[in-house]
Structure 1
Amino acid sequence: MGMRFAGRLTDRFGSARVITPAAVVTALAVIPPGYAPTLPLLIASLFLYGVVNASLDVSMNAHGVEVERACGRPLMSGFHGMYSVGGLLGAGVGGLFAWFGAGAGPTLATTGVTLALACLLAGRHLLPPAPTVRENPPPRTRRTGWIILIGVVAFAGLVGEGAAVDWTAVYLFEDLHASQGVAALGFAAFSTAMTVGRLAGDRLALRFGPVRLVRVSGLLAAVSLGAALLVGQVPAAVAGFTLFGLGLATIVPQVFSAAGNHDPEHAGASIAQVATIGYAGLVAGPALIGGAAEIVGLPAALGIPVLLAAFMSASAGALRPPR
């Protein structure tokens, strides 16, 4: 729901004016869920966090596109790589606080305040904002067929990410009878491969271009996970999920970069529309696969991300940069 307003807010005031306050408020918004005394208050505080995080998500991706244009080379994959690094660090911080017996409140309060201060410092190094704020917001961008297409590509990629997050360990443990430690290793390998792939993605995009990169990446994701499911052995599954993460790593960053560059005047609105479609995959994907697994079994249900990865490869031409 926050995406509905985040794009117009970014386009009206400029990404540089939105990103720092959005980042600080998002960092501090993680604190109330840790102290919510009842379930309704917990839900309300998480809803608020989602709304403010939407403004940060859109504005920082729009600013990333501006930085790419200023530098004249791909950078978006590396920015998304830091998102993956943040996920790994967040898990480590949570585990460390839990080891010392700290509850959710102190953990989130310490993390939120620290991140808010870091965002204030980082905000000083953003590109200068436009000299004036627009008195009137730009006309609303229509959800064109092209926007819908690349939004569906993002949807497909995020279904794959959500599937790996929720079902990798379950598949290894329940279907392949791996130990709990090995089952956890499968998701760790996927996450590490995602991070490495995103940090290397900008060099690959510069060398091969976004279309060829997404075409090969989608093919790698489809073939690796498909082959692992067909073999049905633990080593093959761990290797398959690793290569699946490597294949998915660069696709969503290239989609956001393409959305922001397609119409720079409406970069925020375009990114918001693509993100709204794409993030639905992160929410719906695990449930979709879980429902399919009840009918045909989990190995067959994991064929859904395989087909979606093949679709991303076939749709790569939509990411061709505008002249």
Structure 2
Amino acid sequence: MDTRASTRPSEPRAFITRERVGVALLFLMNGFMVGAWAPKIPEFASRLGVSESALGLMILTFGLGSIVMMPVAGSQIARFGSSRVSKVAAVLLTPTLLLLTFVGSVWTGAVAIFLFGGLLGAMDVAMNANAVSVEKHMRRSIMSSCHAFWSLGGLIGSSTGGFLIDHIGVSAHAILVTIAAVLMIAACWRLVLHDAPHPDDEAHAAGRRLPRSALPWLIGIMALFCMIPEGAILDWGALYMRNELAATVTLSGLAYAAFSLTMATMRFAGDLIRDRFGAVMTLRVCAVIAILGLLLIGFAENTPMAIAGFALAGIGISNIVPICFSAAGNLPGMAAGVGLSVVTTMGYSGILVAPSGIGFIAEHTGLAAIFAGLSLLIVVALFLSPLAKHADNAHH
């Protein structure tokens, strides 16, 4: 279905529309739920009496939930449209944090965490597909800023979570987060762009099959190879600073803070940059900056040099994944949700699965070699950069 028909010719490139606000609120709510969960993990583990290794399995269950539900969401988007799937997933996701707060056994905990991960993943695919529809509707890039709102939601959820749990308790925090999520869903409900697929649409007809075209899988490799370094920085950055560069606890924390700050800032700027220079050029410049950042981390001789590397890596990685998602949602002859479900599943598996493998390798090589070596993954993304041209299809 051609969504451009509904764009008024008099304002073909408006900067902010109700549809853009609607999808940004979906990203904010999803990120907020993830962020609110992070400070709850220690209490969750102690309540269920699980060891660190068992908690690791629980967190893997969260990842498995996402990986199972993302392709399911993709097929449902092809059938019902991204707006309906986004809303249903958001509504079902809202009570899951309460569920995680009140479960009393390991098995019910595992079910709750699988549902939480699964619904977050399903909503993720649907809201990214909706962002692609809004890009077509507005004929301008918005994907990077949507991902910036997700980061902002995560920051709000995680930064307030610990404070609220300390001051008002675990249950009250979960109730407050749930109310906030309900308010965000209510605010965006009528704003989200309705994009039900046309019954005669060729992409709709093929929508519930896994794509045979190599394109979504190659774009998925780009997303995967950019999200593995992101997961490595999240899980291993502070440890690398402390153990191998003898940084203080405060300076160690600055590693991820520098990465997050530059990433969020560049994501808010990314859409304007992409509209000005095109997706392929933007991705190539970002990839080169990311490679330099990762090499700087790996070869750092002191903490300021490493922090500069983390900041550079944030600038570089910031807009590669949003461009990959835009490209996946605009592949010719394919429903947005189907291409996106492949790319999001492959990409997020990089954050969910790779960090444990990195820990195993790091025991033998040290983390400095890991960070330097991860730059090779971005080199592969650089070689695949011509595929980013599909992200510009939204404007035509």
**TM-score when normalising by structure 1:** 0.94
23-32 vs 186-195, which moves further: 23-32
* Residue 191 of structure 1 pairs with residue 260 of structure 2: yes
Query: Deviation digits for residues 162-194 of structure 1, max 9, x if unmatched?
Result: 011001100111110110011011111111111
| Alignment match, 2:246 | 177
Deviation of the 1:134 alpha carbon = 8.2
Structure 2 match to 1:114: 180
Answer yes or no: is 1:293 the counterpart of 2:359.
no
- From 53, 62, 80, give the equivalent of 2:120: 53
Mapped contact 2:83–2:195 kept (Cα < 8 A):
yes
Give the direction of change, closer, same or farther, for the CA distance of 1:230–1:265 in structure 2 (3 Å limit): closer
* Distance apart, 1:252 and its partner CA: 0.6
Name the SS for the 1:113 alignment partner. helix
Task: Return 137-146 or 60-69, whichever deviates more.
Answer: 137-146
Which residue of the partner structure matches residue 203 of structure 1? 272
- The equivalent of 1:88 in structure 2 is 155
Matched, 1:9 2:73: no
TM-score of the pair, normalised by structure 2: 0.77
Number of corresponding residues? 322
Distance 1:289 1:26 in 2: 31
Q: What RMSD in Å do the two structures reach over aligned CA positions?
A: 2.0
1:29–1:48 contact (8 Å) kept in structure 2: yes
Post-superposition offset of 1:76: 0.4
Contact 1:24 1:117 (C-alpha < 8 Å) held by counterparts: no
Q: Deviations over 1:250-291 (max 9, x none)?
A: 011000100101136511111001111111101122112211
Residue of structure 2 aligned with 1:258, choices 314, 319, 327: 327
What corresponds to 2:96 in structure 1? 29
Structure 2 gaps, min length 5: 1-67
Q: Which moved more, 1:114-123 or 1:163-172?
A: 114-123
Checking the alignment, whether the CA contact within 8 Å between 2:81 and 2:197 is kept in structure 1 is no
Letter in 1 for 2:166: W
SS in 1 for 2:335: helix
Task: State, as a whole percentage, how many aligned pairs show the same letter.
Answer: 33
- Partner residue of 1:19? 86
Question: CA distance change for structure 1 residues 2 and 160 in 2, over 3 Å: closer, same or farther?
Answer: same
Contact 1:24/1:115 (CA < 8 Å) preserved in 2?
no
User: Cα distance, 1:240 vs. partner?
Assistant: 0.4
Deviation at 1:141, TM superposition (A): 4.2
Shift of 1:300: 0.8
TM-aligned CA distance change 1:101 to 1:180, over 3 Å: farther
Q: Note the C-alpha offset of 1:197.
A: 1.2
CA displacement at 1:309 relative to structure 2:
1.8
